A and B are shown apart, each in its own frame.
Chain A
Amino acid sequence: MHSAGQMQLEVIICLALLFAIITVSLVAIGSLKVNSEKNGEILLAEAKAQKCAIVANSLFSNGAKKVALSENCYAVGIGKIASSVNESEREAFSIAKGLGSAQLGNKTVLEVKINEHYK
């Protein structure tokens, strides 16, 4: 039989260890959640930027007139289209020249200048 003092020490050590494990687990899960959300936003922004770039490339080469996308895309520099989800911004390359912005109602949308095939 253990003495009362030694039993208390064991309980304290076990409880401390248990709390440490719970704390580390919660921190790890919290960090995982934050990282997952961040990575998800980055992935979504990248996918949206690529989608907009594909449409812009198609318009440039195939002479279509106008296409409206629901994605929030905008031109950043020459030949670059970007999209952002929360604070994560990603860029995609586009062959389309003359990328700019235009007003469509109360929305600002990406504008692509068509490469005219009839001159």
Chain B
Amino acid sequence: MNTTNRGFAFSLDTAFSSLLIFAMLFLATSHFNTESETALKSVKEFGLWKNGLFVADSLVKNRSENKILGAASFDEGKRRVMENKLELIDIQGVTGIDSNEFFVKNISISFKNGRKEVVEISEKNAESCISVERIVTVENEIGLLGVVVCEM
């Protein structure tokens, strides 16, 4: 260790080493805090995917007053809900979903002949959106249903 004529306590080495130790401790604590926040953010993003997937699933499998969660056709003869079979009028009647975590931006149906029907549900802008697609039958035509959900 380098020393001055006043002794090693007044050397730059000691001061420099102490600074390094404090800096390393600070970096370590910052790193661990960032890791935890990143993990929580990942779980939140997974939550958006989960919500989008199940909204689309419910839309094509259920029948309810709130069409966003149930727009499947109902067969009066069989007295049952026809999964994956939709009517365009029901899709056009879809409204938003009551949640403070996410919202449904739009629903679209694309047909093989190139025709596309888009129902805009919300005009809000969002940075984080995902799209979920399902194959459905709309008025006896096969179509690709797309549901776009965005983070609040």
Contacts and interface: CB of A to CB of B under 8 A. Distances in A.
Interface of A: 2, 6-7, 9-11, 13-14, 17, 21, 24-25, 28, 31-32, 35-36, 39-40, 42-43, 46-47, 50, 53-54, 57-58, 60-62, 78-79, 92-93, 95, 115, 117-119
A106 to B, nearest CB: 31
A34 to B, nearest CB: 11
B29 A46 contact: no
Interface in B1-60: 6-10, 14, 18, 21-22, 25, 28-29, 32-33, 36, 39-40, 43-44, 46-47, 50-51, 54-55, 57-58
Contact of B25 (A25, A36, A119): A25
A46 B47 CA distance: 9
Nearest to A36: B32
A6 B6 contact: yes
A62 B126 CA distance: 31
A61 B58 contact: yes
28 contacts: A10-B7, A14-B8, A17-B14, A17-B18, A21-B21, A28-B25, A28-B29, A32-B32, A35-B29, A35-B32, A39-B33, A39-B36, A46-B44, A50-B46, A53-B50, A57-B50, A60-B62, A61-B54, A61-B57, A62-B61, A78-B98, A93-B99, A95-B51, A95-B55, A115-B62, A117-B62, A119-B74, A119-B80
A25 B43 contact: no
A102 to B, nearest CB: 22
A117 B58 contact: no
Given A42-B40, A57-B57, 5 more contacts: A36-B36, A50-B50, A58-B54, A61-B58, A115-B62
A39 B40 contact: yes
A117 B83 contact: yes
Given A10-B8, A10-B9, A14-B9, A57 B58 contact: yes
Interface residues of B, number: 42
Dominant secondary structure at the B interface: helix
A60 B63 CA distance: 11
Given A7-B7, A24-B22, A93 B70 contact: no
A3 to B, nearest CB: 10
A31 B81 CA distance: 56
Nearest to B72: A117
A14 B11 CA distance: 11
